[in-house]
Amino acid sequence: MKSSTINKEEIEKFSKMASQWWDPNGKFKPLHKFNPIRIGYIKNNIIKHFKMKPSTRPLKKINILDIGCGGGLLSEPMCKLGANVVGIDASKKNIEIAKFHAKKNNLKINYICSSPEKIKIKKKFDVVLNMEIVEHVDDINFFIKKSSELLKKNGLMFIATLNKTLKSYAFAIVGAEYILRWLPIGTHDWEKFVKPKELIKISEENNLKIKNLDGLKYDILKDKWELSNDDSVNYIARFKKN
């Protein structure tokens, strides 16, 4: 029986780059480019699901858990939209960077160095974010199980990850790491990529019902990410807790 989702090699890898989280031209440049589409997708789906009223802070009173929050690239926008945010990450360095940046921007975010199976919080959340994290954990089944346990009934879980296809190997590893140098070599392990069918199966076994799944593609001419019908490389899914 697994007792941890933490992959120490992955944590060390991201800890070494922690100081660059908030540099839009640094090693996390692809995530900065990725952020607008992620924020819009999460925000719009939360508003629709919980029937929130449009306002400058539409996510007021929504409790969000951002798992694998890194330096806070998603936690901060969610907080600015009015949500109560708890961000967790297994890397102490990532949490230190996230705390420092939030304090500098006067944002109240509860950052904790932890993983979903070790977090000591009794409350359950309206929304759980697992964005670009499942391809870095040690056991995806155990990780989804523990993440689901932290979600309220009728709550939403968002998962964004990479499909396990030849195209994803060509684009996400050969292209993004070796040719374009968008990401440091070794950022991804293709063996850890997960097919949508497999992700849905694991999630359904843990009381999570798929509501929608969309592909994500990068438009070179517009220099931005967009939703797409093509989920062969990147995709994002929304699940509802039964």
Superfamily of domain 8-241: Vaccinia Virus protein VP39 (3.40.50.150)
Per-residue pLDDT for 188 more than 80? yes
* 235 vs 122, higher pLDDT: 235
Q: What is the pLDDT of residues 114-165, one digit of tens each?
A: 999 999 988 999 999 999 999 999 999 999 999 999 999 999 999 999 999 9
Per-residue pLDDT for 1 more than 60? no
The pLDDT of 196-220, averaged and rounded, is 97
Is pTM beyond 0.85? Reply is yes
Could you write out the three-class secondary structure of 73-126?
CCHHHHHHCCCEEEEEECCHHHHHHHHHHHHHCCCCCEEEECCCCCCCCCCCEE
Per-residue pLDDT for 3 more than 80? no
Ranking 38-47, 53-62, 63-72, 86-95 by mean pLDDT, the lowest is 53-62
* 8 vs 109, higher pLDDT: 109
* 109 vs 13, higher pLDDT: 109
Burial of 100 (0-12, 13-18, 19+ CB in 10 A): middle
pLDDT of the residue at 2: 62
Contact at 8 Å (CB) between 155 and 127? yes
The pLDDT of 15-39, averaged and rounded, is 93
pLDDT of the residue at 234: 95
Give residue 25's pLDDT band: very low, low, confident or very high (50, 70, 90): very high
Closest Cα partner for 61 from 133, 160, 152, 158? Answer: 152
